[in-house]
Amino acid sequence: MDFELSDEHKLFRDTMRSFVNREIKPVAREYEHAGRYPTEIVETMKGMGLFGLTIDESYGGMGADLITLAIAFEEIARGWMGVAGILGSHGLACKMIGKWGTEDQKAKYLPGLATGQRRTCIALTEPDAGSDLQSVTTRAVRDGDEYILNGTKTWITNARFADPMPVLCKTDPLLEPRHRGMSVLLVAAGTPGFTVLRDMGKLGYKGPESCEVLFEDCRVPAANLLGGVEGRGMVQVLGALEVGRINVAARAVGVAQASYDHALAYSQQRHAFGQPISGFQAVQHKLADMATEIQAARLLTWWAAWQADRSDRADTETGMAKLFASEMALKASLDAMRIHGGYGYSTEFEVERFYRDAPLMAIGEGTSDILRGVIARSLLTGFNTD
> Between the CA of residue 230 and those of 6, 105, 380, what are the distances in Å?
41, 15, 32
Please tell me the distance from the alpha carbon of residue 265 to that of residue 269, in angstroms, as a whole number.
6
Length of the chain: 386
Q: Where are the alpha helices (DSSP H) in 270-314?
A: 281-310
> Between the CA of residue 108 and those of 114, 146, 164, 187, 220, what are the distances in Å?
12, 18, 10, 13, 16
**Strands across the sheet with 182-187, in order?**
182-187, 165-170, 139-143, 146-157, 210-221, 194-199
Sign (positive/negative) of CA torsion 279, 284, 285, 286?
Answer: positive
Whether residue 365 lies in the annotated active site: yes
Answer whether the bond into residue 164 is a cis peptide, omega within 30°. yes
| Three-state DSSP state, 219 | strand
Please tell me the distance from the alpha carbon of residue 11 to that of residue 358, in angstroms, as a whole number.
28
Q: Which of 230, 242, 327, 365 is catalytic?
A: 365
> What single-letter DSSP state applies at residue 134?
G
> Who contacts 18 (Cβ-Cβ below 8 Å, separation ≥6)?
none
- Relative to beta strand 165-170, strand 182-187 is antiparallel
245-260 burial, b for 16+ CB within 10 Å, e for fewer? Answer: bbbbbbbbbbbbbbbb
Just list the catalytic residues. 365
